Amino acid sequence: MVRTFSYFSGFIACWYDCKLEELARDLAKGEKDSIPGIETFYSEGERNTLNLRTIVSEEWKGHLQGIANRQNFGCSLLFGKTRDRYKVVCVFV
């Protein structure tokens, strides 16, 4: 397992977990449903509006402040078949 320390825009500090990245990818593809006990954050939209900093610091700000006790996370960013849409999913445990 690769573990990299990350700091989400002043809200929480977590270790990156590749297994959780796989889970986030499965959730983004619709291959799995949400799992109780795992905080899951989604964002999707048109590719030309994609700004990960804005998603984390504005869209998810309040939610991230509420999960400061989580220690591990994984994220996945997918693009649609025509690559004009995106979906980003992050999971925290």
27-38 per-position pLDDT tens digit? 999 988 888 989
Domain ranges of the chain: 3-92
Per-residue pLDDT, 4: 54
Per-residue pLDDT, 39: 94
Of the pLDDT bands very low, low, confident and very high (cuts 50, 70, 90), residue 8 is: low
Name 72's Cβ contacts closer than 8 Å, sequence gap at least 6: 14, 15, 16, 17, 20, 92, 93
- 3-92 belongs to CATH 3.90.850.10: no
The tens digit of pLDDT for each residue in 43-89 reads 999 999 999 989 988 899 888 888 878 889 999 999 998 899 999 99
Please name the amino acid found at residue 91: V
Read off the tokens for 28: 């983004």
This prediction has a pTM of 0.83
